[in-house]
Amino acid sequence: MRTHAQHELTKNQALVYGSLSDAGGPLTAYAILDLLRENGFRAPLQVYRALDKLVEFGMVHRLESLNAFVACSHKGCAGHGSAAFAICEKCGDVREFTPDDVVRLLKDWTESQGFALARTTIELRGTCKSCVASG
């Protein structure tokens, strides 16, 4: 299996991935576009096309419930299973984790139904520990 680092990124892909890594949290496509205007980006498609590839490579995840994107937290990993996300609605923090047992159960269910599973989206909304503590 290919590691993230082994993907040779094009210029635009590298710029988009850099934005997301530096941000340390989720960004919308249009937020990325604004960050990259100084690098010559002019149109949303430049961002979306790069994001499509990065998601395909597994280097970036799409957060469906936020319409946003986040760099995979496994910086140099050799690939991993389906990711899940705990999203704090107070501070916006997003924590990625890999609930293998959960994914296993979901796979069991799909297999029992004859459903050919391609992709799993798991997103938890709530309040993170520090926000619970502070308020």
Partner DNA sequence: GCATCTATGTTATGTTGTAACACACATAGC
Partner DNA sequence: GCTATGTGTGTTACAACATAACATAGATGC
Residues that bind DNA (CB under 7 A): 10-13, 28-31, 40-46, 48-50, 53, 67-68
What does the alpha-carbon distance between residue 71 and residue 54 come to, in Å, rounded to a whole number? 9
Q: How far is the CB of 117 from a copy of itself (least distance, A)?
A: 4
Nearer to a copy of itself, 6 or 67 (CB): 67
Q: Does 14 interact with a copy of itself (rule: CB under 8 A)? A: no
Residue 95, helix vs strand vs coil: strand
* Residue 135 touches which member of a copy of itself, DNA, none, C-beta under 5-8 Å by kind: none
The yes or no reply on residue 115 touching a copy of itself (CB under 8 A) is yes
C-alpha to C-alpha distances, 101 to 82, 106, 120, nearest whole angstrom: 11, 9, 13
Identify residue 21 by its one-letter amino acid code.
S
Instruction: Tell me: does residue 135 bind a copy of itself (CB under 8 A).
Output: no
Q: Residue 109 gets which letter from DSSP?
A: H
DSSP state letters, 42-90? -SHHHHHHHHHHHHHHTSEEEETTTTEEEE-S-TT-S--S--EEEEETT
Q: Which stretch binds a copy of itself (CB under 8 A): 4-12, 20-28, 34-42, 88-96?
A: 88-96
Give which of 96, 93, 91 is closest to 134, Cα–Cα: 91
Q: At its nearest, how many Å lie between DNA and the CB of residue 129?
A: 26
Q: Does 45 bind a copy of itself (CB under 8 A)?
A: no
In the complex, which residues of this chain contact a copy of itself (CB under 8 A)? Answer: 64-65, 84, 86, 88-89, 95, 97, 99, 101-102, 105-106, 109-110, 113-129, 132-133
